[in-house]
Amino acid sequence: MKSLREKNNKSILKKYKKVNKSKILIIYTGGTIGMITDYESGSLKPFDFNHIEQEVPELKKIPYQLDTLFFKNPIDSSNMNHEIWVKTARLIEERYNDYDGFVILHGSDTMAYSASALSFMLQNLDKPVIFTGSQLPIGVIRTDGKENLVTAIEIAGAKKNGKPIVPEVAIYFEYKLYRGNRTTKLNAEHFEAFTSFNYPILANAGINIDYNYSKILRPSSAPLKVHYNFDINVGILTLFPGISKKYIEHFFAMPELKGVVLQTFGSGNAPTERWFISILKEAISKGITILNITQCKKGEVIQGRYETSKELAKIGIIGGKDLTLESAITKMMMILAEYSSPETIAKELVKSYCGEIKEE
């Protein structure tokens, strides 16, 4: 195992020799998985990844070449943002040809956002990028971190007929592999922290790892193309019964607002009151993109199914079908940075980039 530490933008390289099988790069961004308890203060602090094999001796038995690269200042994932997505994607792009797969260690709180964002950034992916983390620090006896880490590595290096089995951005957590951009954090306490409501799991880890081959994306034959631009002039508006005109007016008055993910009821329904519709209509006429997704965890938006969503379609609100909130907002940030024509933006938002949305 070799370990690379970011230092003044350079990396210190420590070389270890191992059997030349799959080569995996583990990138530690922060989060509970890389924490140990500081016995003096009692609080959690990141441990030194140079000594990961002391914490997880099981890694020595994995027949892959493992290298680690860790952020100089690991973050709690509540501090995640588009700049760190860019940094992470750049680390992958720069080393893309040197590795067979990548494991991203990340706090679970915003992991579904980062996995969604990276899935859109890393276009034409033909290697696994597997996110994982844990609910308990790796230095704690009952940690879920060891199993998550070891199996995520195994999946990142798994090949069939010489080709990676999972050439997509995925999340591995508590025996299950999910498509990253279909995943949502569901539980703040249980080890089973994630779920994917609208797409089947990609693999289940028991005695063997059972891959759901037909549900896994095929590798791209085009070269990797990384998308680095995001427009953060976006917002999420969650409707609730009794929502006031004042609240919605204030929301849309945000200077430079370019896009809104509107979280509606059921299959995409919203109030039919005139004032509500006219605020939305005015926003659209000013060039603000509005994408309708449902507050329901499962199911999809079908604008026009009920009277209460017909008007939304009529005024130009885009139906986001079964996109998760995490996918909807990260995809919108990316599409708005890329395109300016409202017709193209609408088309791109509902097009499947990497299996994040139901296809017709």
- In the complex, the residues that contact ligand ASP under the rule CB under 6 A are 30-32, 76-78, 107-109, 133
Smallest distance from ligand ASP to CB 62, Å: 23
Q: Nearer Cβ to ligand ASP, position 3 or 77?
A: 77
Q: What DSSP string describes 314-347?
A: HTTPEE-TT--HHHHHHHHHHHHHH---HHHHHH
Smallest distance from ligand ASP to CB 76, Å: 4
Structure tokens of 57?
Answer: 């001796």
Which runs of E-coded beta strand occur in 23-164?
23-28, 35-37, 44-46, 65-70, 101-105, 122-123, 129-132, 159-160, 163-164
Q: Of 26, 16, 17, 75, whose CA–CA distance to 49 is shortest?
A: 26
Contact 313, 319 (CB under 8 A): yes
* Residue least distant from ligand ASP (Cβ): 107
Structure tokens of 253?
Answer: 């008055």
Q: Nearer Cβ to ligand ASP, position 78 or 344?
A: 78
Q: Nearer Cβ to ligand ASP, position 30 or 355?
A: 30
CA–CA dist 289, 12 (Å, integer): 45
Smallest distance from ligand ASP to CB 33, Å: 6
Q: Nearer Cβ to ligand ASP, position 138 or 260?
A: 138
Q: Nearer Cβ to ligand ASP, position 107 or 139?
A: 107
Neighbouring residues of 178: CB distance < 8 A, sequence distance ≥ 6: 170, 171, 172, 194, 195, 196, 199, 201, 202
For the question of residue 132 being annotated catalytic, the response is no
Q: Of 187, 196, 201, 49, whose CA–CA distance to 108 is shortest?
A: 187
Smallest distance from ligand ASP to CB 208, Å: 27
Query: Which of 29, 32, 184, 195 is flagged as catalytic?
Result: 32
Contact 216, 166 (CB under 8 A): yes
Smallest distance from ligand ASP to CB 143, Å: 12
Name the residues annotated as catalytic: 32
